C-alpha cells in the first residue's frame, strides 16, 4: 500500500517543495540565531523578497520571532522543527540511503544529514552536531577521544557542551600535529575547545604534522612528545575527516616532489597523511607525527565525517581502502554520489 507521503509526492509535489524550503529556513535560523534577513537570504541562496514572504508567514504561525538582533525560533518553532526532521528524512528517503550505504561499504552505522555542505553553511553545522551525538552514544566510563583538524571538526567542538560528557571521564587528544592551516582549525585548537566546552581535559601535540625523517626521529625521542603520542595511540574513539588529495597537499605546503607522486598516483583522497586513488589503494604516504592507519585497529570506534558533493569521490576512495571505518557521517549530496553508479 502506498504511504501518504508517496501519494503527496505524486499529487502535491509543490507542497513538498514548499515544506522543504520552510524546513531549511527554520533549520538555518536555529543554527545562526539571532540572524538578520539579509545574511539568512545569502546563506540559503534566496532573494530577500522571497525570504521576507516566507519569514512573515512563519512569524504569523508563531514559529519564529523578530528581535532587535535578528530572527530566532520560538519554543513552538523548535518543536515543529524537531518533528519535521524525521518527516523530511522519510520524504527524501534518507533512512533507506543510510541502510544502502551500510551494506555497500560494510559499515556499522551511517548517519546522513540533509542538504549539501558545499552549498549551505548550516549543513556543515549539522554534520558537527551529528558527530557529537554519535560520540556521545559511544562513551564508556573512561575515554580518550582522538580528533583531527578541519572545519567540520571545528563545528563538532562548537556543538559540545557540559551535558556531552554525562559524568564520564574524557581526555581529548589531537590525532596529529599542526598542518600549517588556520590555527583554529588545527587539531590542537579543536581539542582545547572541546575540553573547554565540556569541562573535561585535553592534551596537545606540539609538533608539525610533517617534517624530514631525521627531524621526526629526533623529536619523537622527546619525553613530552612520547607521552602524548602514547595517549593518542591508545584512543578508544577516533573521529576524523576525509580530505581531497590535491587540496590537502596544498594545505600542507607539500613539497613539489611529493605533489608529483600524489598526482602521478592519481590520488583523490587523503586521511592521516595517506593518499588514496579511486580504488582505495594507498599511492603515497607522507611522514606524519600522530595516528597512522594501522593505529585505527586499536580503537573501539572510528568515525569518519565528510560531506558535500565535491567530497563524494574522496569519501568513496577512502571507504574502500580504510582498514576500519565503523561509522560514516555525511550529507545528502555526498550520499547521493556514493550510491550512484557513475563513480
CATH class for the region spanning 93-339: alpha beta
Contacts 24+ apart (CB under 8 A), 220-229: 220/289, 225/289, 228/173, 228/203, 228/204, 229/205, 229/289, 229/290
The two domains 4-90 and 93-339 share their CATH topology (first three levels equal): no
pLDDT at residue 181, rounded to an integer: 58
CATH class for the region spanning 4-90: mainly alpha
- Residue corresponding to grid cell 542538504: 115
What span, in angstroms and rounded, lies between the C-alpha atoms of 195 and 171? 8
- Domains of the chain, by residue range, sit at 4-90, 93-339
Which residues of the chain fall short of a pLDDT of 50?
A: 1
Burial 158-179, CB ≥16 within 10 A → b, else e: bbbeeebbeeeebbbbbbbbbb
pLDDT at residue 75, rounded to an integer: 92
- pTM above the 0.85 mark? no
pLDDT at residue 1, rounded to an integer: 41
What span, in angstroms and rounded, lies between the C-alpha atoms of 81 and 282? 43
Q: State pLDDT tens for residues 215-234.
A: 777 777 788 888 899 999 99
What span, in angstroms and rounded, lies between the C-alpha atoms of 319 and 102? 11
Structural element, H or E, at residue 219: helix 213-219
121 CB burial (10 A radius; 0-12, 13-18, 19+): middle
pLDDT at residue 217, rounded to an integer: 73
Amino acid at each position: 500500500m502506498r504511504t501518504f507521503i508517496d501519494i503527496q509526492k505524486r499529487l502535491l509535489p509543490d507542497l513538498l517543495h514548499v515544506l522543504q524550503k520552510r524546513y531549511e529556513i527554520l533549520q538555518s535560523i536555529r543554527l545562526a540565531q539571532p540572524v538578520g534577513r539579509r545574511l539568512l537570504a545569502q546563506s540559503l541562496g534566496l532573494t530577500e523578497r522571497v525570504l521576507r514572504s516566507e519569514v512573515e508567514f512563519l512569524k504569523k504561525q508563531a514559529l519564529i520571532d523578530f528581535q532587535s538582533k535578528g530572527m530566532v525560533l520560538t519554543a513552538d518553532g523548535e518543536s515543529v522543527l524537531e518533528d519535521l526532521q524525521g518527516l523530511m528524512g522519510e520524504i527524501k528517503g534518507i533512512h533507506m540511503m543510510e541502510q544502502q550505504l551500510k551494506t555497500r561499504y560494510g559499515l556499522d552505522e551511517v548517519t546522513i544529514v540533509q542538504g549539501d555542505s558545499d552549498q549551505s553553511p548550516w549543513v556543515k553545522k549539522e554534520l558537527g552536531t551529528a558527530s557529537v551525538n554519535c560520540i556521545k552514544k559511544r562513551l564508556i566510563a573512561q575515554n580518550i577521544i582522538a580528533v583531527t583538524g578541519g572545519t567540520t571538526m571545528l563545528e563538532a567542538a562548537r556543538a559540545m557542551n557540559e551535558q556531552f560528557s554525562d559524568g564520564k571521564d574524557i581526555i581529548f587528544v589531537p590525532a596529529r600535529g599542526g598542518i600549517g592551516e588556520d590555527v583554529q582549525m588545527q587539531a590542537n585548537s579543536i581539542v582545547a575547545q572541546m575540553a573547554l566546552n565540556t569541562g573535561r581535559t585535553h592534551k596537545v601535540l606540539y609538533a608539525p604534522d610533517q617534517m624530514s625523517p631525521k627531524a621526526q626521529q629526533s623529536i619523537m625521542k622527546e619525553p613530552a612528545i612520547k607521552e602524548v603520542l602514547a595517549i593518542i595511540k591508545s584512543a578508544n574513539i577516533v573521529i576524523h575527516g576525509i580530505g581531497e588529495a590535491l587540496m590537502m597537499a596544498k594545505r600542507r605546503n607539500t613539497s613539489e616532489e611529493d605533489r608529483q607522486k600524489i598526482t602521478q598516483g592519481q590520488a583523490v583522497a587523503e586521511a592521516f597523511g595517506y593518499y588514496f586513488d579511486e580504488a582505495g589503494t594507498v599511492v603515497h604516504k607522507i611522514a606524519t607525527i600522530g595516528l597512522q592507519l594501522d593505529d585505527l585497529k586499536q580503537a573501539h570506534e572510528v568515525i569518519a565525517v565528510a560531506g558535500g558533493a565535491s567530497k563524494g569521490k574522496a569519501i568513496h576512495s577512502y571507504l574502500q581502502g580504510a582498514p576500519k571505518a565503523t561509522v560514516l557521517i555525511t550529507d545528502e549530496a555526498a550520499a547521493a554520489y556514493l550510491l550512484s553508479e557513475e563513480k
